[in-house]
Structure 1
Amino acid sequence: MPKHSQHRRRGKYALDADDIEWLESTPETSADDGPPEGDRWSTWDQSTPTERGPQPYPSWLVTELAAVDTELGILKTGKEADVHLISRGVPGTDRVCLLAAKRYRSSEHRLFHRDAGYLEGRTTRESRMNRAMANRTAFGKQVIAGQWAVAEFGALCRLRKLGLPVPYPVQIVGTEILQEFVGTSDGYAAPRLANVSEDLDELWKQLVEAMVTLAREGLAHGDLSAYNLLVHEGGLVIIDLPQIVDVIAHPAGRSFLDRDARNVATWFAAKGVTAADPDALSALLHREAGMS
């Protein structure tokens, strides 16, 4: 800017000497936009009502706009997404909660090694996006990441409303899903079923009940195993739901249903649960889904 234009011309909005002196002595504020502590301001206000979990919101959830998010570490890494532990709290108060932030990987990383079967039928209205997804371009991978995040958040909301044991879905922002942290108040995550050896008969009953509820809704987890089931306070919690399948509409819906049944029943049977039978569970799920 030319030197002579740095000061406003004389008139209604002209700056006098005191104004100029005050402006020159005031520090820049752009660098002070961050929170007083933590890593970022709470992203709660960045989500629309439809991008937040079912109401009423849990009492433990911090929704105050003065809250800040603090990164505490990585809970889980994967080919499609990483899960981070976040503390969301209002500075100077006892209002704080722990959240699990699932962040789908950006386009420069390998994305969704099994996505072809799950994404069948998931198209957009724009042919450009569909071509990009089919060709796995950088833009197409970003579209896929967004679709998977939206699909998982929608599944969490739907299953939560059905009363199924899933983490409470707090909000979605872009390709980041914030959800209830399943674990202790001091940040220790609940163990996976694969690492549990007690009360397996009871856990098997809980799992069958949950799978039957899913089947009655015409759904299958799509990738169910002992590694995406958590055990918390004596109960099972189902996680990792981006690939949830409509078994009626999907051309391979029956095979997804059978695979879920085979994976979990085989695991429980190997652990000595006599009631766990893959064929019997598949037949039960087929009947409940109206596919027998």
Structure 2
Amino acid sequence: MPRFPEAPKSVLIQAAAGKGGKKYTNRSADDERQPARNVRVGREDLEGPYPGAFDAEEFGSDGFGSDAFEHDGTVQDGADRHPSGVVPHDHDHDHDQTDPTQPGPGQRWSTWRSVAKGARGPEPLPEWVVTRDAALDTELGILKTGKEADAFLVERAVPEGAGLPSDAPDLALDQAATRCLLVAKRYRSLEHGQFHRGSEYTEGRTVRRTRDQRAMEDRKSAWGRAVSATQWADAEFVALRDAWSAGAPVPYPVQIDGTEVLMEFIGTEETDDLGRTQAVAAPRLTRVRPSDDLLESYWDQLTHGMSVLARLGFAHGDLSPYNILAHGERLVIIDLPQVVDLAANPFSSDVLLRDCRTVSDWFIARGLDVDPDALFADLLAQAF
């Protein structure tokens, strides 16, 4: 019976580096799991399979891991890093494959068809989402490392030379997307995470099976730790699905597979004079300096998003300029695993007020006259 959750063949590990602070080295994931080597949990008992792991050897020492952010969005001490959110990809690995239609290093078949229908994104499906069975998922590098999960850049594309199904309508396939960039957010188990998920967020939250609920409350058991990691991924996917369907400015959730959530990549692709392409993630709100007009637009977009969440019965729970992306003139709210149920959670009012004050302080510091208490009152009115 396989151990859960599985991990890539190499993982990013933070190690002491003497007076210089910290450095990052690649160690075997088996080494990191050594204390729990004898612990085994049945994957078939969990709600959804864990995705097949990429062959991570190609990405173990190429420098992608140096772009390391903590959960709060700050750069870790002593971490050398690429320009924030920039991941180069020239697809040279494709040329090493004998058959371009078969998975190579750092690749797997698209998992779109392997997950249950309820584990896919909501309708209507955006036109850019690739759904073809012939698509390959290629891991391009690390976008962000955090205390509870890591975010990887993944390209899902139908390789040239992949044949079309003989019984498929040609027109529909011609119009279907053949390539898209995704963010794969992969949650760690509790023993490998650094973020202690408190009852402030989970109070009042329920799961579909009472057996899993009891397991989550017992953090000393291997089963409880495994189920907890899956449930935090599930909580983010459900929150993104409901928020996107209701019109909130959040990334489109493509699918969930065990502890991996695939979602829309918010950013652009740029090509330099030498023809090299790089994916540039949208910056966090804390890093931008908008004009007065754009600042007001950002505030309107943000309060609209918070209102949508409130009408759904949610508070973000960790809303700050670090969890908001500024993609040109568009704001996008991210990181929703800790959403709080406004009706069932006894701490919900405190959490919502904290969200209101945190984001309001950023806008006030930049000269916009906003009232966090008035925002809090308005959101509560919309929620109830």
TM-score (norm 2): 0.63
Between 1:33-42 and 1:46-55, the stretch displaced more is 33-42
Partner of 2:218: 134
Cα distance in 1, alignment partners of residues 140 and 117 from structure 2: 27
Partner of 2:199: 116
Q: Which runs of 4+ in 1 moved over 6 A?
A: none
Partner of 1:39: 107
Q: Which has the higher contact order (CA 8 A, sep 6+)?
A: 2
Map 1:191-210 → 2, pairs under 5 A: 191-198=283-290, 199-210=294-305
Cα distance in 2, alignment partners of residues 289 and 57 from structure 1: 28
Cα shift readout 1:7-65 (whole Å, capped 9, x = no counterpart): xxxxxxxxxxxxxxxxxxxxxxxxxx952575111111221110000122211111111
Map 1:216-235 → 2, pairs under 5 A: 216-235=311-330
Partner of 1:82: 150
Gaps of 5+ in 1: 1-32
- Cα drift, residue 132 of structure 1: 5.4
247 and 132 in structure 1: CA distance in 2 versus 1, 3 angstrom threshold: closer
202 and 49 in structure 1: CA distance in 2 versus 1, 3 angstrom threshold: same
Does residue 106 (structure 1) correspond to residue 198 (structure 2)? The answer is no
Cα distance in 2, alignment partners of residues 128 and 106 from structure 1: 15
Map 1:40-59 → 2, pairs under 5 A: 40-59=108-127
Overall identity of the aligned pairs, in % = 54
107 and 260 in structure 1: CA distance in 2 versus 1, 3 angstrom threshold: closer
Partner of 1:281: 375
Does residue 161 (structure 1) correspond to residue 255 (structure 2)? The answer is no
Cα shift readout 1:182-240 (whole Å, capped 9, x = no counterpart): 00034110010011111222101111122122222222111100001001131110110
Mapped contact 2:215–2:227 kept (Cα < 8 A): no
Gaps of 5+ in 2: 1-100, 162-176, 270-277
- Cα drift, residue 284 of structure 1: 1.7
The one-letter amino acid paired with 1:77 is T
1:69 pairs with one of 122, 132, 137: 137
Partner of 1:180: 264
- Cα drift, residue 141 of structure 1: 1.7
Mapped contact 1:107–1:139 kept (Cα < 8 A): no
TM-score (norm 1): 0.82
Count of aligned residue pairs for this structure pair: 257
The one-letter amino acid paired with 1:68 is L
Mapped contact 1:108–1:138 kept (Cα < 8 A): no
